[in-house]
Amino acid sequence: MSNTTVRIAQISDAQAIQAIYAPMVERTAISFELEPPTVEEMAKRIGSTLPTYPYLVAERDGQIIGYAYASQHRAREAYRWSVDVTVYISPEAHRSGVGRALYGVLLPTLKRQGFHAAYAGIALPNDGSVGLHEALGFAHIGTYPEVGFKHGAWHDVGYWRIALDSTSPPKLSVPFSEISLF
């Protein structure tokens, strides 16, 4: 098996990212979107994320097999040192270290940017995602019961947290566009 490489996503990756994400939207409750975003919408999401937060892809043998990104946790100003993280892996690459490789770049980058903590919301049940996050040091902090309705059923979402930077008072966070990744 070839090595997995992680790099910054580009707008031109939108089609491959959309191909990974669309089945998750259509066939599962892992995502609470009801309709898969178009390739054009995915391109907009990449473009709007990168100035402030990392958006990464994992490649193996020239194919994108996963992606991860960070986003704003909440809009109120006091939340600015907290960040949400998301990872999606192509089904054929599950349990092959792709999620670990993506988070191995994403989390240290967020720490360098000055974020205090990262939060992951996981639609339950999802043993693979829970296992990945807990193996990386995320701790379960609570569950919203029956918070989303999709595919004819209510779904719980659990939340996991990992500390990134314990500086107090926190330093100003640095936009992703102003740091070098590698």
pLDDT, position 164: 96
The answer to whether the beta carbons of residues 118 and 162 sit under 8 Å apart is: yes
pLDDT, position 138: 98
The Cα 146–Cα 92 span in angstroms is 30
Domain over 5-178 is classified CATH 3.10.20.440:
no
Q: Which residues of the chain have pLDDT under 70?
A: 1-2, 182
Residue 138: how many CA atoms within 13 Å on its side-chain side?
27
Neighbours of 145 (CB within 10 A): 10
The Cα 164–Cα 114 span in angstroms is 8
Strands 82-89 and 5-8 come out as unpaired
pLDDT, position 1: 43
The Cα 157–Cα 124 span in angstroms is 6
pLDDT, position 2: 60
The Cα 14–Cα 69 span in angstroms is 13
pLDDT by residue (tens digit) across 12-55?
999 999 999 999 999 999 999 999 999 999 999 999 999 999 99
pLDDT, position 168: 82
